């Protein structure tokens, strides 16, 4: 039995262990460079095949975070026959102790060697290995019979190689060759131990192939081998063909001794993977046939990969909340087989590390050796702060297509969303005018609520951001009884902001309410409103105003102001009820009773139920625009509603009127 170890000590070089006739155990190590160094084990069955114990990657993760069958470090996705342990990690150390003590069977051959800083015999109590050192050293001494003096004096950065047999009476130890490992450079160490033989004869041989596939269709198997001597009657060659399903379960499908075997009868949908096992023997001369090659012909499944080198356009890594992120990403089919329609899963991982899967339609099929540009866009509403966009091509689940590799199907793109902190602005009018608190309004008012926000990307279109409440008088006449106005009420009309106009700076939503009040009294309006990022208008939570209702239609006397006047005067009056009279005019007469100026409703300007001051201002001219002389002038209002003269609404100014006529003085 011989073990050959080419060593590049002091630098991350080739670590290769060959058993007997080039039986490779490892060609590289995960423990070099960033994986921090440690100890490697390999175990071999004590029979004629000396097959090594193997490990498979359990979390499909490459690099230093890859986990093997027994919690060992496994940085690649292939099945390997070495068990590597990072001795700077307490969990790894505990898993290693469990492996060597409880997993490796007694009597098996054990190979152990170091990579980099293995930390054995460390005096640094901050190192995790410090608390486990005695257990590991005890294993080497008692289970492998390693030279006690040598193992006790090895330094944490000195390389070592052990080869022995676990808990075996015929277990001669292998002395350390520190003179070969304590220097820079390359060397080859031979350890020959004829007193550690493998049991059994060597007239048979076997070989296991790695898993083949995934395949869309299986074609045939070709086997080529050579006989070592002339008498081939005792040579035996057979191949076991195992089907492997998507769960990794194997089933022996056929055994063949033919050098050409059809595989077309194997259902690739049921068994997309395959594994071969070769059995050879020479029962006479012990010179078993030697395999030259074996080949499986099949139609390979598509192999998809994120291809940022072909195309990657990401807008933008910093956006305002509500603004869309946009991604154009290349997805390449690197295989010779066409891919069906492809699912691409887009997931936003927010600042609290919570994933949010964004539903997106399937991408079209991808022809062999071509690249598809996948387009994605998504609003950033609700994602303020630091986020990561994770893109996964062909994810696990419904619609998943078989691939050989998955590690190249992922890409992570960080982006930051700034928060909208500016409050929206609200404007409320009754019949087109702003009112004072407690002011008289129509019994059938049109209340318009208009809100504007500066955000270009989040239009004001969500009714849940608003609450409208009317206050009705209680038994004492105080407006305390709340009545919510739902958005499906016939008295309410909601007009959301138009996204296109919002993007141009006109992010405006409006609510029109048309209540009907049937009882005189004091009423109120309460409005709660916020924008899409929960900013309340003007920094407040509630808008509240009170108003008065008089249901009976009436009009007060008009009072001019100022009086006397020199250049112009306007007219103030009050309307009650729910309608503006269709006929409303103002007559101005001289002291002899002749009408010198008549102003119709259109000239008076906007009139509403409640307190009014005319837009019209009389400048002291007659009907033809000629200036009138100084002196006293009379005036009166003429009003009709539904063809009837309106009743007079009494005010404190009535004492200054005689039979409906008022006086004003023009002083130039």
Q: What is the pLDDT of residues 446-468, one digit of tens each?
A: 999 999 999 999 999 999 999 99
What is the pTM for the complete model shown? 0.54
- With b for 16 or more beta-carbon neighbours within 10 A and e for fewer, the 497-527 pattern comes to bbeeebeeeebbbbbebebebeeeebbbbbb
Please enumerate in sequence order all residues whose Cβ is within 8 A of that of 192, keeping only pairs 6 or more positions apart, or say none: 1, 2
Q: For the stretch 427-446, what's the b/e string if a residue is b when 16 or more beta carbons lie within 10 angstroms of its beta carbon?
A: ebebbeeebeeeebbbbbbe
Q: What angle do CA 279, 283, 287 make, to 5 degrees?
A: 75
Angle 62-63-67 from CA coordinates, rounded to 5°? 70
What is the domain partition of the chain in residue ranges?
A: 2-192, 204-300, 304-408, 425-549, 554-666
Nearest to 116 by CA among 217, 222, 37: 37
* 8 Å CB contact between 175 and 166: no
pLDDT, block means (10 residues), the chain with 668 residues: 43 43 57 85 80 90 92 90 93 95 91 87 93 92 78 82 76 35 39 40 75 94 83 80 93 94 95 93 74 93 94 93 94 92 95 94 93 95 95 88 90 94 92 94 96 93 94 95 96 96 94 96 95 80 92 93 95 94 93 93 92 94 93 94 90 89 92
Q: What pLDDT is stored for residue 205 in this prediction?
A: 75
Token look-up 């230093």 returns: 64
Ramachandran class of 71: left when φ > 0, alpha when ψ lies in -120 to 50, beta otherwise:
left
By three-state DSSP, how is residue 172 classified?
Answer: coil
Place of tokens 């074996």: 294
What is residue 427's three-state secondary structure?
strand
User: E strand or H helix at 51, and its extent?
Assistant: none
Does CATH place domain 554-666 in 3.30.1490.20? no
The span from the CA of 335 to the CA of 342, in Å, is 15
Domain at 425-549, CATH from 2.60.40, 1.10.287, 3.90.920, 2.40.50? 2.60.40
Tokens of 299: 């139609």
Q: Do domains 204-300 and 425-549 have the same CATH topology?
A: no
Burial call 69-78: b when 16+ CB within 10 Å, e when fewer: bbbbbbbebe
Written in H, E and C, the secondary structure of 509-526 is EEEEECCCCCCCEEEEEE
pLDDT at 366: 94
What is the distance between the alpha carbons of residues 582 and 575, in angstroms, rounded to a whole number? Answer: 13
Q: Cα separations (Å) of 661 from 557, 558, 585, 634, 653?
A: 8, 9, 14, 6, 12
How far apart (Å, rounded) are the C-alpha atoms in residues 389 and 380? Answer: 11
Q: Using CA atoms, how far apart are residues 221 and 297, in angstroms rounded to an integer?
A: 6
Specify the 3-state DSSP secondary structure of 186. strand
Listing DSSP states for 156-175 in one string gives: TTS--EEEEETT-SS-----
CATH H superfamily, domain 304-408: Immunoglobulins (2.60.40.10)
DSSP one-letter code for 323: P
CATH 2.120.10 fits 204-300, yes or no: no
* Torsion angle defined by CA atoms of residues 102, 103, 105 and 110, in that order, rounded to the nearest 10 degrees: -110
Task: Return the DSSP state at 101.
Answer: I
The bridge status of strand 554-555 relative to strand 647-648 is: parallel
The encoded tokens of residue 531 equal 């924008």
pLDDT for the residue 545: 95
Q: What is the DSSP string of 246-269?
A: TT--EEEEEEE--SEEE-TTS-TT
Q: Are strands 324-333 and 370-379 parallel, antiparallel or unpaired?
A: antiparallel
Q: In what order do the strands lie in the sheet with 260-262?
A: 260-262, 215-226, 290-300
Four-residue CA torsion sign, 309, 315, 319, 321: negative
pLDDT score for 634: 96
Total residues belonging to the chain = 668
Tally of CB atoms within 10 A around 398: 6
Q: Which two tokens stand for residue 313?
A: 């356009």
Residues 6+ apart with CB under 8 A from 643: none
Tokens of 304: 């998809």
Whole-number pLDDT of residue 194: 35
**pLDDT score, position 174:** 38
Return the percent helix, strand and coil in the chain, to nearest 5: 10, 45, 45
């Amino acid at each position: 039995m011989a073990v050959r170890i080419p060593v590049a000590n002091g630098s991350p070089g080739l670590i290769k262990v060959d058993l007997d006739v080039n039986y490779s155990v490892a060609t590289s190590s995960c423990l070099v460079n960033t994986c921090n160094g440690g100890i490697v084990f390999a175990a071999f069955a004590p029979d004629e095949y000396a097959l090594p114990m193997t490990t498979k990657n359990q979390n499909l993760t490459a690099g230093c975070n890859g986990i093997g069958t027994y919690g060992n470090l496994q940085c690649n996705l292939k099945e390997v026959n070495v068990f590597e342990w990072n001795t700077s990690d307490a969990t790894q150390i505990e898993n290693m102790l469990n492996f060597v003590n409880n997993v490796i069977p007694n009597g098996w051959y054990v190979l152990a060697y170091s990579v980099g800083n293995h930390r054995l015999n460390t005096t640094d109590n901050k190192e995790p290995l410090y608390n486990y050192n005695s257990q590991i050293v005890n294993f080497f001494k008692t289970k492998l019979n390693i030279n006690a003096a040598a193992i006790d004096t090895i330094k944490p950065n000195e390389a070592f190689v052990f080869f022995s047999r676990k808990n075996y009476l015929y277990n001669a130890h292998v002395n350390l060759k520190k003179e070969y490992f304590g220097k820079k450079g390359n060397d080859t160490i031979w350890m020959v131990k004829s007193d550690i033989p493998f049991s059994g004869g060597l007239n048979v041989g076997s070989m296991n192939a790695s898993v083949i596939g995934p395949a869309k269709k299986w074609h045939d198997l070709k086997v080529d081998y050579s006989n070592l001597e002339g008498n081939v009657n005792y040579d035996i060659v057979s191949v076991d063909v195992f089907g492997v399903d998507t769960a990794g379960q194997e089933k022996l499908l056929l055994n063949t001794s033919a050098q050409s075997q059809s595989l077309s009868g194997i259902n690739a949908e049921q068994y997309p993977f395959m594994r071969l096992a070769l059995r050879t023997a020479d029962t006479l001369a012990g010179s078993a046939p030697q395999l030259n090659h074996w080949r499986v012909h099949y139609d390979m499944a598509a192999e998809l990969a994120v291809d940022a080198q072909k195309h990657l356009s990401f807008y933008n890594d910093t956006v305002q909340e509500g603004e869309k992120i946009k991604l154009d990403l290349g997805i390449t089919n690197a295989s010779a087989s066409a891919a069906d329609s492809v699912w691409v899963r887009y997931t936003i991982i927010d600042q609290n590390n919570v994933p949010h899967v964004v539903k997106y339609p399937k991408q079209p099929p991808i022809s062999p050796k071509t690249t598809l540009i996948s387009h994605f866009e998504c609003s950033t509403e609700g994602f303020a702060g630091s986020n990561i966009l994770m893109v996964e091509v062909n994810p696990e689940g419904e619609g998943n297509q078989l691939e050989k590799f998955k590690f190249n199907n992922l890409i992570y793109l960080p982006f930051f969303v700034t928060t909208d902190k500016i409050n929206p602005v609200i404007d409320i009018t009754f019949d087109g005018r702003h009112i004072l608190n407690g002011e008289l309004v129509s019994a059938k008012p049109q209340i318009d609520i208009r809100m504007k926000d500066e955000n270009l990307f989040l239009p004001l279109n969500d009714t849940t951001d608003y609450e409208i409440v009317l206050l009705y008088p209680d038994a004492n006449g105080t407006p305390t009884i709340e009545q919510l106005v739902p958005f499906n009420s016939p008295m309410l009309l909601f007009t959301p902001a138009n996204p296109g106009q919002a993007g141009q700076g006109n992010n405006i939503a409006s609510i029109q309410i048309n209540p009907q009040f049937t009882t005189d009294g004091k009423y109120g309006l309460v409005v709660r409103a916020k924008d899409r990022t929960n900013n309340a208008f003007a920094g407040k939570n509630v808008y509240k105003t009170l108003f008065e209702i008089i249901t009976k239609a009436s009009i007060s006397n008009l009072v001019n102001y100022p009086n006397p006047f020199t250049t112009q005067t306007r007219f103030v009056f009050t309307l009650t009820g729910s309608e503006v009279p269709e006929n409303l005019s103002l007559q101005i007469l001289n002291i002899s009773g002749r009408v010198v100026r008549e102003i119709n409703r259109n000239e008076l300007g906007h009139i509403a139920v409640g307190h009014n001051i005319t837009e019209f201002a009389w400048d002291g001219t007659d009907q033809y625009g000629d200036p009138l002389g100084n002196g006293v002038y009379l005036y009166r209002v003429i009003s009709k509603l539904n063809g009837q003269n309106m009743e007079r609404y009494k005010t404190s100014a009535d004492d200054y009127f005689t039979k409906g006529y008022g006086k004003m003085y023009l002083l130039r």
